[in-house]
Amino acid sequence: MLFSKVVTFTLENHEWTKPVTLLSYENTIFGMLSDDEEEDELITIENSIVPPTIYLWDKTHELKVIRKPLYPFDSKIML
């Protein structure tokens, strides 16, 4: 299932909010994070972890940074 969501992240103690287009599959959500200053990047959200961990990958598929959302993440609400 495809859906869009604005997600708030923390990165190095800075809070920021980004629009994300997400694809839900089983217990994992995959998505593209878009920003004017950055290229599109793939994020993977593991729903089985509470709070979930969001892994951000660059276009070379190397782990760039790990981010955690500031709010409880519930895929059922988002879907």
pLDDT tens for 21-44 read: 555 555 555 555 555 444 444 445
Rounded to whole angstroms, the Cα distance separating 27 from 8 reads 20
Distance CA(51)–CA(60), nearest Å, equals 27
Q: Which helix (H) or strand (E) holds 64?
A: strand 63-69
User: pLDDT tens across 49-69, in order?
Assistant: 444 455 555 455 444 444 444
Read off the tokens for 45: 């959200």
Residues in Cβ contact with 1 at an 8 Å cutoff, skipping those fewer than 6 apart: 23, 24, 79
